[in-house]
Amino acid sequence: MPSHSSGRQPKYQRIAAELKAAIQAGTYGPGDRLPGENDLMAAHGVARMTARQALGVLQTEGLAEARKGAVVFVREFRLIRRRGIQRLAAEVWGRGRSIWAADTEDRELVVEFLSVGEEPAPQAVAAVLELAEGDRVCARRRRFLLDGSPVLLATSYLDAALASGTAIAEPDSGPGGIYARLADLGRKPVRFREEVRSRMPTPEEADRLDLKSGTPVVLVSRTAFTTDGRAVEVNEMTLDASAYVLEYEFDAQ
């Protein structure tokens, strides 16, 4: 049915808003085919470019995806609920469980190790880890894929003098991950700090995360501290913003 809105909103945005409302109402469910360009042209009396722009809005916002050429479907995906506090509990990694597994429930998680090795400490990381000029870090770079789709890039930085010769410097750090190995070394993390911000991705990030055009990323920088207040790890994470819900639950102080 043609749109009779009298607002100044461009026609393609009004059409996109109607389609989004239909998706939210359940008229179109995950995997359903959306009206095509010809359908929208006939229903709204608009040019093909306007219809194409309307469908493009839904694709940019991660609500729809094109398949088989110009055919557009409602995107099928389950949001990842990242429980920022519960996932870091010692009872998770202390029992040999990956903290990433706490986010994925029954879904298929694959961790790709992009590189593991020593390198000069980035200035900001060196400051947090209290490293001297010229000190090196052990950098662990990974890409996480959930149900076959990349959703997260992560790089952990640790003092190379601490990590060298241990499982931390290996691709597979063993049950419980690097926090369990730090505990084995007497450097058990007992407190964490996370800083969160968002921005548009770099071309490399967009490529590695297979991001749709216009999709932002969420940056999470986590620092792990020992009982004496010393930082032992800095983890720089880049998340596909369309795939995650960040949840923080804590008691009032």
pLDDT band at residue 101 using 50, 70 and 90 as cut-offs? low
Widest Cα–Cα separation across the chain:
70
Residues of the chain above pLDDT 70, percent: 87
Encode pLDDT of 148-181 as tens digits: 889 999 999 999 999 999 999 999 998 888 989 9
Question: Are 124 and 157 contacting, i.e. CB atoms less than 8 angstroms apart?
Answer: no
pTM attached to this predicted model:
0.74
Q: At what angle do helices 11-25 and 37-44 cross, to 10 degrees?
A: 110
Domain 80-247 belongs in CATH node 3.40.1410.10? yes
| Per-domain boundaries in the chain | 11-74, 80-247
Residue 47 has what DSSP assignment?
Answer: -
Helices then strands, each counted (H, E), the chain: 9, 10
What does CATH list as the number for 11-74? 1.10.10.10
Would you say residue 1 has pLDDT above 60? no
Encode pLDDT of 38-52 as tens digits: 999 999 999 999 999
Encode pLDDT of 204-249 as tens digits: 999 999 987 778 999 999 999 999 999 999 999 999 988 888 887 7
Question: Are 83 and 102 contacting, i.e. CB atoms less than 8 angstroms apart?
Answer: yes
Question: Are 40 and 15 contacting, i.e. CB atoms less than 8 angstroms apart?
Answer: yes
